[in-house]
Homo-oligomer: A and B are copies of this chain.
Amino acid sequence: MTLDVNLLRQDFPILSREVRPGIPLVYLDSTATSQKPRPVLEAMEAFYRTNNANIHRGVHTLAEEATAMYEQAREKVAQFINAPSAEQIIFTRNATESINLVAYTWARANLKAGDRIILTEMEHHSNMVPWIMLATERGVELEFIPVTPDGLLDLDVYRTLLTRSPKLVAVSGMSNVLGTINPIAEIVRLAHAAGAITLVDGAQSVPHLPVDVQALGVDFLAFSAHKMLGPSGIGALYGRHDLLEKMPPFMGGGDMIKTVHLRSFAPNDIPHKYEAGTPAIAEAVGFGAAVDYLNKLGMQAVAAHEHEIVNYALDRLEEIPGVKVFGPTADKKGGVASFTLEGVHPHDIAQILDRDGVAIRAGHHCAQPLHEKFGITATARASFYVYSLPQEVDALVNGIYKVKEIFG
């Protein structure tokens, strides 16, 4: 099955926007955040117009409807990643909070000075800073799987690092800069054999690839709705059942408790134990609708489409003199093309492209250490999703030629 991209684009109102009069939007920044199809917007709108109420504690009809819709969204998200049960899905604000939740609960309850955590050099700051904070606070040691010049993880070094009994391996499923699709099943298998717990930053992999937590064997998986056609303000953490059961709570407040006395409390059952206060209810409904939409397309088809488009993009980009694309060959990566153009700062590329409606991102993309590794401070990044068209790659390439002319 392949995507009928021209047809599905009609579901995305923003894609018919003109950035300036006569200049249509060419949105090549989906790795930062995706656009939203009408069914997602309509699900949230309908919720607010018909069912809006606070959840879990209410007996009246609206509260029961809202609770059912919220919990149904949890079921959908659980099924989307093939979680064994919905209670293993905790709704958070975003992938970042999901990772911090693990750092504040599981990690602070289980790690002590001298314990080792393995990360990779290609991690997003969200899967780096929480561990740096922990390392600084607790004297935990951080070690990094190196990135090879062609943008892959050096698994030989990983195997060596594993001999030193790490407690946690935290790695991204797909790099938001290089596009590298990491071999998660293998990484997890090796980690488990070495006795480590695994956390996968799925912020990029869950939106773009079929992800099955049971097949991969991951212990924790973090992801964000806004990168997978869903709304801002909601993300998820998947966790292994026994780990979630045992971990201490994160934030304290309403809903995460069974009972409260003045000086003591008993935490609620999972997943509620980790969801303090009124959650992002309408956003959960939108998240569920986004998952429905992706299921309708089929994640195999989504991945195939992105593969095709990034393949084309790499071909076209590499033909431009002075352009250097980072990351592995198209067969090993998702829909991300990060590049530099000799003599021109990525910011200037992005701004000149923007004049023609082409929206790309420029900067370190929250992966400063990776850029340092490659000896650069910034890249320009074009990224693709279900609605991306080859013509949009052409617009990008034409824009880059224009940049070259200006900086000539």
A residues near B (Cβ < 8 Å) are 13-14, 17, 19-20, 25, 27, 29, 32-33, 35-36, 41, 44-45, 48-54, 57-63, 93-97, 99-100, 103-104, 121, 124-126, 128-133, 135-136, 142, 144, 224, 226, 231-235, 249, 251-257, 259-265, 276-283, 347, 350-351, 353-354, 357-363, 365-366, 368-369, 372
Residues of B within 8 A of A20 (CB): 61
**Given A57-B363, A60-B359, A96-B251, 9 more pairs with CB closer than 8 A:** A13-B49, A53-B359, A59-B351, A100-B251, A126-B252, A126-B253, A128-B260, A142-B262, A232-B283
Residues of B within 8 A of A133 (CB): 249, 252
Contacting pair B253 A142 (CB below 8 A): no
Contacting pair A251 B282 (CB below 8 A): no
Contacting pair A265 B361 (CB below 8 A): no
Contacting pair A96 B129 (CB below 8 A): no
Per DSSP, chain A at the interface is mixed
Most buried by B among A259, A260, A360: A260
Contacting pair A129 B256 (CB below 8 A): yes
The one of B51, B59, B351 that contacts A362, using a Cβ cutoff of 8 Å: B59
How far apart are the CA atoms of A359 and B63 in the complex, in Å?
9
Contacting pair B252 A132 (CB below 8 A): yes
Please give me the residue from chain B that is nearest to A350 by CB atom.
B59
Contacting pair B263 A142 (CB below 8 A): yes
Q: Given the known inter-chain contacts A32-B53, A233-B234, please indicate yes or no for A276 contacting B129, CB distance below 8 A.
A: yes
The one of B17, B44, B48, B224 that contacts A14, using a Cβ cutoff of 8 Å: B48
How far apart are the CA atoms of A48 and B38 in the complex, in Å?
10
Most buried by B among A59, A261, A276, A351: A59
Residues of B within 8 A of A52 (CB): 14, 33, 35-36
Residues of B within 8 A of A249 (CB): 133
Contacting pair B282 A368 (CB below 8 A): no
